[in-house]
Amino acid sequence: MDNNKAKLILSVYRANGVDAQDPMFREALRQAESDPALRAWLAEQQEFDIQVSSAFAGVVGPVEGKVMIQTTMGATRPHQRRWLWPLALAASIAVLLAVWTGLQNPGGLALPENASLAELATNLSDHHASIGLMSSDYMKLRAWIAEKGGPLPDRLPPGLEKMAVLGCQTWKTSRGKVSLVCFVGDDMKIVHLYVFDQPPAGLNGQGLPDLAQPRFERSGKWSLALWQDQGRGYVLGMPMESGKAPDIERFFRA
């Protein structure tokens, strides 16, 4: 197990010892013990978890939160359950954060006025990450987005059609409505698909290629693919690891 995988697993480790006997966590903990930098990161993570727990002690989460987790795990293929549950736990925390963020911003999210489509997507990823609904049922995610009035993805890149879904979100922003669908592969890598109902002024579909020939870019720590379809702007994003860009082009191969 390398540090990146150990960090992913330990990011949902419960410091009260409940997870200590799980083989997956035990291996990750051994990796942390053998690496000073990872050990220091884990200590900071646990301290942060304590602070977050205290801050949210009085917050009542959405009633459907537990049901969403159970539904997600029940619908997942058996061989995926083991590694998907940490993602489900992390996503359930994101649901609480989404509720809190919505209360703080009743008029919608304020996004940079002059930002490009790529910059808007990475801004949402870096500063407003949340999941409104967890489900492994793509049609259920589409129905939820439609109910919230968010833009729906039309055609998907060929590679995404083969992947499982984890959850979705939709926002009303100062730059129009935006939806997010999160896909996850067998390698535990999460892929973010943002759909912009109204691409930023000045683009409006102009300058963006079609799905068959997307434009590939890097923005901050993200590797991106951009295209337009049916008047909507699309951004597919994956975070770079250790400065190495992921092969995002593979999602567009038949």
pLDDT in tens, 60-69: 444 445 555 4
- Candidates 97, 253, 128, 249; CA nearest to 194 is 128
Average pLDDT of the segment spanning 200-213:
69
222-241 pLDDT, tens digit per residue, is 899 999 998 899 999 988 87
pTM of the model: 0.60
Distance CA 49, CA 76 (A): 28
Question: Among 62-71, 154-163, 219-228, which stretch is predicted with the lowest mean pLDDT?
Answer: 62-71
**Cα–Cα separations (whole angstroms), residue 29 to 7, 13, 20, 36, 84:** 9, 9, 8, 12, 19
Domains for the chain: give ranges and CATH numbers: 1-58 (no CATH), 100-252 (3.40.1000)
Number of C-beta neighbours around residue 97 at 10 A: 16
> Could you tell me the sign of the dihedral formed by the alpha carbons of 254, 137, 180, 92, in that order?
negative
Average pLDDT of the segment spanning 196-215:
73
Tokens of 29: 């903990």
At 87 the pLDDT is: 57
- DSSP characters for 35-73? -HHHHHHHHHHHHHHHHHHHHTTTPPPPTTHHHHHHHHH
